[in-house]
Structure 1
């Protein structure tokens, strides 16, 4: 591979914003890709994937480069040189790469790779927490899997098309996909491509959604005609899936504390042809109280550490703090206590997270079931999804049923 100066500058500029100013990688990359209209898909892919790669392995690369935050521009070029050298890319004769110790880089890589926190490029506290919650053996395999680049997975919108028809249309666009065993409406791209430019996306034939995430709506056992409440709907990936499973029949009420996310859901619902979704921003407790004992099904896709989705959000490793996890666990239990009251007698509830930590998952459900409100529910089943087992995101989901009066 030959390095091009303008693409490398874009990478350095992006890394400066992410590593020094704490900007979100996906937002920075989105902006950078608009920088030069002449860039083709390969150029854009280089910028995006190189930035994600360096952010993902930040601890390892900065250790090898012997630089510490805050990183000046020379430091970031040193980190870039480490990335390129370890990938066997010949460094051009640019001033930024003068005196790059090629042999030392490889030696340091071999040495540091013997220690998990460097090899997997994670903070000490996160490594300790992973071992404590999952055990040494499982954590070692799980964090390695969470450091792999995520596949692009589509969920077919069955309100508008079939899996076979979508495969055929994408094939005509030069995008090859394959079905995934055990995932009803999922298609995996054989090679990465910008699917958002396709007519199929514009017509609402699919959404991009990880395979593990697609299991959550199915876990809720929805049927056409039901009244369903998605309590932490966000921009509505799972809400839209519920609409397709319900064949647009019945009612879905999508709640969230962020009105801007619900506005995005409205736009997506229109494109998807999902007409049975009503959005309600939670501006006061009255919004939730009005729904007490009304819903056949309730989804609580709870806020969490997001450790199960590190493959697509590698910068989260550096933003996450142990105090946040402690706080979010309190919030999770509060949400379970409050939103469980929306379920009517005989109805069902799914509590889900995109975390792999038992303390955010099964332990939260166990705590809830021993509480006063939780005693009205029975545990039906749960599913813990680990990335190193499936190859997809880490997730948890538990199905509870409210006892009949």
Structure 2
């Protein structure tokens, strides 16, 4: 009989790895899924749900567990803390028998050499089972703390989003990050049509639903391992959120254009731009490190775009050979990532309030260099995947005050269900919980024609 991998044990190792070694959760989870790619689909799904769920609800889980444990979670040994979080998440949020959640946690404690603490683990979890219909609720009079605990975000982040968007919107935003998110893809129109891709994916057993904004976008689910899908291996589609796709659609790239993507990894916008060039023109795709450019190269090999050149380049370093030569500059710049916390659920724990200001300053440093590449009459798309206005709207003002570029309307390029959102501002902020995509900021600038 084939031996079955204990996916709870795998989840425990992953969660300890994330906490102890500060490893990004999607990387740690991805490594384990790759190693267990031949395990049953249901087991892999259970593992993923457990790891992602514990990570994204860590603050709430600790709040609940602290209520029933004599030892605060922060003082527990890392393995015991992770076991309690895993057990609590299964009891409160998963369709798992309570008895199984408790007994498996106790068993793992014993197997890992913590037999003397197995009674403690059992006692806390069984108390939680008895009390789960009468759980403690954070004080609703303290907006910041209530939102922080309820949606598992640090208090500084709760305060920031409440101040910028209001409590009601903040709750919608953070609640949306806790919801299951299907994978969003973009059809490679150079290889297939949306209709053909949809049919091919459905025949492969994948559930496909049309996107909400663009005709070549889909969401997919009911798949085990992306690399097993023939259409993916053949480069017929790319994984890319619709918000990111919108940034390129708004750029209005035409055949023959020279497009520069200055902070491109992993290459979603690069290849979307290449697709819109229809084999003509060129995309120069750059990023800072060898690791990031290798990611772009991997996707280039799979997508088979001949009109894409990949280079390792520091965006802060001016390239004189590119001055006033670019038709379309894609400046999707380094940011706090606060708009994609639903997909990268540990961003909220790794980012700090101080880093927000540093990132806004870095964006300005990059912008002070790259705007010069835009040719007279050319355009720049400035975008980020964050909700923080300090990295978005405030940098719009900086661009207008410190470069000759001027903000232009993007209204004509928006799908019907996003029209009349830009108002007099001329830019678009997509908001999770209100929009069916990542939190994303998109603006468009034009360099005046030479006189």
- TM-score, normalized by length of structure 2? 0.84
Q: Deviations over 1:37-56 (max 9, x none)?
A: 66211101111111000000
Counterpart contact for 2:318–2:370, Cα < 8 Å? no
Counterpart secondary structure, 1:370: helix
**1:55 maps onto 2:55 in alignment:** yes
**1:102 maps onto 2:108 in alignment:** no
Counterpart contact for 1:210–1:393, Cα < 8 Å? yes
RMSD over equivalenced CA pairs, Å: 2.1
**1:341 maps onto 2:347 in alignment:** no
- C-alpha distance in structure 2 between counterparts of 1:34 and 1:132, whole Å: 41
Deviation (angstroms), 1:13? 1.1
**1:393 maps onto 2:422 in alignment:** no
1:85 equivalent in structure 2:
91
Deviation (angstroms), 1:110? 4.4
Deviation (angstroms), 1:34? 4.5
Counterpart contact for 1:305–1:355, Cα < 8 Å? yes
**1:379 maps onto 2:405 in alignment:** no
Counterpart contact for 1:305–1:325, Cα < 8 Å? yes
Query: Do the aligned partners of residues 42 and 352 (structure 1) sit closer, same or farther apart at CA in structure 2, a change above 3 Å counting?
Result: same
Q: Deviations over 1:5-24 (max 9, x none)?
A: 81211111111111232111
Counterpart contact for 1:20–1:69, Cα < 8 Å? no
Counterpart contact for 2:60–2:152, Cα < 8 Å? yes
Counterpart contact for 1:117–1:124, Cα < 8 Å? yes
- TM-score, normalized by length of structure 1? 0.93
Deviation (angstroms), 1:283? 5.2
- C-alpha distance in structure 2 between counterparts of 1:113 and 1:31, whole Å: 39
- C-alpha distance in structure 2 between counterparts of 1:37 and 1:190, whole Å: 17
Q: How does 1:1-400 map to 2 (within 5 A)?
A: 6-36=6-36, 39-66=39-66, 67-68=73-74, 71-87=77-93, 89=96, 90-92=98-100, 93-94=103-104, 95=106, 96=118, 97-99=121-123, 100=125, 101-103=127-129, 106=132, 109-112=135-138, 114=140, 115-282=146-313, 288-371=319-402, 373=403, 375-380=404-409, 381-400=426-445
Counterpart secondary structure, 1:229: strand
- C-alpha distance in structure 1 between counterparts of 2:205 and 2:35, whole Å: 26
Long gaps (5+) in structure 1: none
Counterpart secondary structure, 2:443: strand
Counterpart secondary structure, 2:437: coil
- Of 58-67 and 284-293, the range deviating more from structure 2: 284-293
Query: Do the aligned partners of residues 35 and 325 (structure 1) sit closer, same or farther apart at CA in structure 2, a change above 3 Å counting?
Result: same
Q: How many residues align?
A: 400
Long gaps (5+) in structure 2: 67-72, 107-117, 141-145, 410-425
- C-alpha distance in structure 2 between counterparts of 1:70 and 1:323, whole Å: 29
